[in-house]
Structure 1
Amino acid sequence: MTAHFNHTIVASTDPAEMAGFYLDLLEADEAPAWGPFTNITIGGGVLLQFAAPPIEFPPQHYAYLLDDEHFDRAHTKILDRGQDHWADPQRTRPGQINAEHGGRGVYLLDPSGHYLELITRGYL
């Protein structure tokens, strides 16, 4: 059997705010919290655990594959919030989405400063 991704801990300045942001944007499901973790689940039963780390943390990159309809809804939310977003990871094309790899994509920052990428087609 090949490995399957199960869960990750996302360093968060405010775990509850982060969970709410991801619940809304990714249309995720709530999951029981325990210990220092505020949890949600996304497709395939992947658990995202939000927790405040005991140290300063560098921003990470998280990419999420969405179907076209979900991408449209997420992009509308980004626009309605007036949230900064870019068509490229270098942030040289502000306010745009891209049409690369046979799909569409957009980059934005989450409330803790992590780089999010929303795409409609995987790279492989």
Structure 2
Amino acid sequence: MSHEEVTTTVQLNHTVVHARDRQLSAEFLTAILGLEVGAPFGPFLPVDLGNGVTLDYYQMRDEPIQAQHYAFLVPDAQFDGMIARLDAVGVTYYADPGHTEPGRINRLFGGRGAYFDDPDGHNMEIMTRPYARP
């Protein structure tokens, strides 16, 4: 099998998101993105995304949580609603990943995007166009 054949068949299936309160964090994300929290699966609380990838929220009780970055490609028609839901719950969004431009969105690659923190400090990103790669 060639390298090209392998890279076209490999897909991300799921990833674990560490949380202090898996229910709270999963519900926060689903409320913003307009999704639903799935039924618990062992120690995980899944959030299914539209492309077959699942975020499995896992509760961390005593260990520190290392903040991660999660980027979501969202339909342009739903972007304004997501921003409105962030505003409604009092969560500041930013135009940049370093969170230096509060209350603003970016217009990268002909789309719109914004960054915000979830309850555990993970840097979440919503964007309507994927990043152009060379």
Normalising by structure 1, report the TM-score.
0.92
RMSD: 1.4
User: Which residue of 22, 43, 47 corresponds with 2:50?
Assistant: 43
The one-character-per-residue Cα deviations of 1:70-112 (angstroms, maximum 9, x if unpaired) are: 1111011111222111101111111111111110000000011
1:62 counterpart = 2:55: no
1:16 counterpart = 2:23: yes
TM-fit CA distance, 1:29: 3.3
TM-fit CA distance, 1:48: 1.1
Counterpart residue type for residue 107 of structure 1: Y
Counterpart residue type for residue 9 of structure 1: V
Counterpart residue type for residue 58 of structure 1: Q
Q: How many residues align?
A: 124
Matches within 5 A, 1:21-100: 21-53=28-60, 55-100=63-108
**Can you give the 5+ residue segments of structure 2 that lack an aligned partner in the other structure?**
1-7
1:12/1:51 contact within 8 Å kept: yes
1:29/1:42 contact within 8 Å kept: no
**Can you give the 5+ residue segments of structure 1 that lack an aligned partner in the other structure?**
none
The sequence identity of aligned pairs, in percent, is: 37
Counterpart residue type for residue 81 of structure 2: R
Counterpart residue type for residue 73 of structure 1: G
TM-fit CA distance, 1:113: 0.8
Structure 1 runs, 4 residues or longer, greater than 3 Å off: none
Counterpart residue type for residue 13 of structure 2: N
Given the superposition, is the C-alpha separation of residues 81 and 29 from structure 1 closer, same or farther in structure 2, using an over 3 Å criterion?
closer
2:37/2:45 contact within 8 Å kept: no
TM-fit CA distance, 1:47: 1.2
Structure of larger gyration radius:
2
Counterpart residue type for residue 51 of structure 2: G
